[in-house]
Amino acid sequence: MDPRHLELLSRLDGPWVEDPLLLRSAELMRQVALERCSSDGRESTDGCRSYHAWWQYWRAIGLVSTPDWHVANYADVFAGDRDARVLVSGTADHGVLRHLAQAGARGPIAVLDLCPTPLEMCSWYASEHLPGPLSTHRADVLAAPFGEAEFDLITTYAFLSRFPDPVKERVVAGWRAMLRPGGRVLTTIRLEPEVPMSVPELDELSPRLLAAVDDGDPGILHEVAAAYVRSGSTSHPLRSVEHAHELFAGFDVTVEIGVLRNRFYEDRDYAVISARL
């Protein structure tokens, strides 16, 4: 464990600092990613290694959107049915799983992802905090190893923005097949009229990091920024609310719009989508 990285965490401001779970898991996830990540399904030269190794540090600093920004949307998920069968369809870490547990999930939860790192972090979290059974599945969402009508709830966070529009449609069609009658999809996605969007350049991002963290180590902050740029992340947001309704055609769809304010970017519009069969 690199003490410099933990020192960085101790210098950050924000309510997450009071979160002992993230303090425990950020460096653990970095080490897991360095050992377990592969090039499957990622655009950057080192696969998803940079993306997952630094993900929770980016969360702490505020570089990336996380389920913590939409925690209120999980509060009513299990109203009347805490034993619902749940699929987390793609996840960066244990963030979605944690909010499901805090919302009262007791039934079986399956987590699907192409990389073993977030799956291992979900297992790590579940071993201490999840009351119901957890299964992890390393597979492409377009070839998910599940039968039809298997889940009551499918949820994920900002996952659809990983895909261009034609692939989004295939993902949603797969979700539809896996849902039971009356089942629900709960997800979020950025709204932006122009696509795709990429991470800022290093010479733009690194000074913003230095300015945002008091007494931070410039070397470590530059390392965090460089990893973010190296991840090669590209986002494909929805263009409008109408686009959300088109994507979930055949569902009973509710779209809530919110604005996320970030110290590194201009304000961003996000859609919280609840789609029920």
Whether pLDDT at 253 is above 90:
yes
What are the residue ranges of helices labelled H in the chain? 3-10, 20-36, 49-53, 55-61, 95-102, 116-129, 165-178, 202-212, 218-230, 241-247
State the pLDDT at residue 2.
62
Residue 68: Cβ within 10 Å count: 15
Q: What is the pLDDT of residue 198?
A: 74
Relative orientation angle of helices 3-10 and 218-230, to the nearest 10 degrees:
100
Query: For residues 64 and 228, what is the distance between their CA atoms, to the nearest angstrom?
Result: 10
Where residue 265 falls among pLDDT bands split at 50, 70, 90?
A: low
What pLDDT was estimated at residue 77? 81
pLDDT in tens, 137-186: 999 999 999 999 999 999 999 999 999 999 999 999 999 999 999 999 99
Position 21 pLDDT exceeds 60: yes
- 118, 16, 109: which is closest to 71 by C-alpha? 16
- Return the number of other C-beta atoms located less than 10 Å from residue 223's C-beta: 17
Rounded to 5°, the CA angle 49-54-59 comes to 135
Average pLDDT over residues 226-231: 78
Q: What is the largest CA-CA distance in the chain?
A: 54
Does the structure show a pLDDT above 60 at 215? Answer: no
Give the pLDDT band (50/70/90) at residue 262: low
Q: What is the pLDDT of residues 95-144, one digit of tens each?
A: 999 999 999 999 999 999 999 999 999 999 999 999 899 999 999 999 99
Strand partners, 272: 188, 256
Euclidean distance between CA atoms 136 and 94, whole angstroms: 12
Return the pLDDT at 41.
43
127 vs 57: which has the higher pLDDT: 127
Helices (H), 48-88: 49-53, 55-61
pLDDT at 39 over 70: no
Non-local (6+) Cβ contacts of 197 within 8 A are 190, 234, 235, 236, 237
Instruction: Identify any residues that bridge with 89 across adjacent strands, giving them in sequence order.
Output: 112
Q: Using CA atoms, how far apart are residues 31 and 53, in angstroms rounded to an integer?
A: 7
| pLDDT at res. 43 | 44
160 φ, ψ to 5°? -65, -25
d(C-alpha 56, C-alpha 228), whole Å: 11
Q: Which domains does the chain have, with CATH numbers?
A: 1-64+200-233 (no CATH), 80-196+236-277 (3.40.50.150)
Which percentage of the chain shows pLDDT scores above 70? 81
